[in-house]
Structure 1
Amino acid sequence: MVVYFMSKTKSQEEYLGSLQMFFLISCIYNTLLRIYRGILVVDYLPMILLGAIGIILGSLIAKRLLKYIDENKMKKFIYIVIGISGLINVII
């Protein structure tokens, strides 16, 4: 999805916004499904809230740093991370 959105959006802001919306919808769907199936229970709530705080803080920091990041450098970084992830999957 990361590469797809990178090819379909015109700016960094549009790219990040589209990606965040996709993952928000995906997370809401998966969370509701896990609650329905009994996988996600109330005991996990403190860890979920801690994770949510981390996500919000990370998003706020990324939003402030975005104006300093060159679009081409960001694309190269994304491709490098995807490549490393692929290598790890092949090796493991």
Structure 2
Amino acid sequence: MSESSGVVVDVLTRPECHLCTEALRVTAEVCAEFGLTPQETTIEHDDALRAQFSEEIPVLRINGKVRDFWKIDPVRLRRLLAEATASR
């Protein structure tokens, strides 16, 4: 997260998930363009997150709101981050 922007980008993952690895890579690259550092949250040991998101992993959340899942589209993520950072 960038302290100055107040935008929180979080990727929900599970261990040994190839889609998660790719989602983290794409998210980190795009977030870097905005001066943001994404967080990674594993659902492995969180029963509530696992129950809610187990079929959609990886899940991209921006400021707590689900914005994408399975495959992170870098063009869409840039647009979402531009909107999120402009409104802060």
- Asked if TM exceeds 0.5, the reply is no
Compare CA radii of gyration and give the structure with the larger one.
1
Q: Tell me which of the two structures has the higher relative contact order, counting C-alpha pairs closer than 8 angstroms and 6 or more residues apart.
A: 2
**If each structure's helix is expressed as a fraction of its own residues, which one has the higher value?**
1
Q: TM-score, normalization: structure 2?
A: 0.34
Q: TM-score, normalization: structure 1?
A: 0.33
